[in-house]
Amino acid sequence: MNRDRDTLKQKIKRDAELRLNIEDLVKLNERYSTIFLGLKLNTPHNSAIIENFTFMIRRLIYAALIVFMPHLPQIATMTLLIVCLIVLIFNLTEKPWMAPEMNKLAFANEALLYVLIVLIIASPSLSTEAGHEVLGWFIIGVVTLVIHINLTAMLVEAWHHCRLLYARYQNNKSFLAKFNSKVMPRQDSVKHEQEVPSPIKEVSSRKEEDSS
């Protein structure tokens, strides 16, 4: 049993390393590389392309329902519910984002949106005015919660990116200091500072912060 378990762990590790190596081989055109920023590349089901495609199609469905089906609110709401459920299943099975936090955020957004749509569907069944008021406040609370969760996630990501930029600055500074003290004469260090190669090309992942 232990030998089979170790063999399975080694196989999983080799497969993970192979996927990472394949992702590193992907070279995106700078014109549209931002579209795939943070998404897993070269996955078996091309989840990065599906993620962007479903994002666009979903907004088109929202716009079409608002423009062409305002007189059929029940059908429009059920359509939104089905689309939300499909996207929720996709995020659970594929996990298209490289960062686990982004996958959790995507799942939380879809789950809260699903709850919101269910509450909207349930609103006509409440015949009392007090029930409508309670449900209305609950919907407002769900929307407010979604907004605050996304704002918090964006602030955390911005803070982490600032830390990575500072780590790159510190690495460059220490590298230049070592290079000037060991290789170049002190009187020529300022003159040739522009010729020193940079040890880090760009800030792209959390590995840079860990290496510093």
Position 207 pLDDT exceeds 60: no
Q: What pLDDT does 131 receive? A: 66
| DSSP 8-state secondary structure symbol assigned to residue 30 | T
CA 183, CA 15: separation in Å to the nearest integer? 42
pLDDT in tens, 3-28: 677 777 777 777 666 665 555 556 66
pLDDT category at 1 given cuts 50, 70, 90 is low
| pLDDT one-digit tens code per residue, 154-181 | 898 888 889 888 888 888 888 888 877 7
d(CA 39, CA 47): 8
Q: Tell me how far apart the alpha carbons of residues 211 and 160 are, in angstroms, rounded to a whole number.
A: 15
Q: Is the dihedral of CA 167, 169, 171, 177 positive or negative?
A: negative
The β-bridge partners of 39 are 97
Contact yes or no for 196/177 (Cβ under 8 A): no
For the entire predicted model, the pTM comes to 0.60
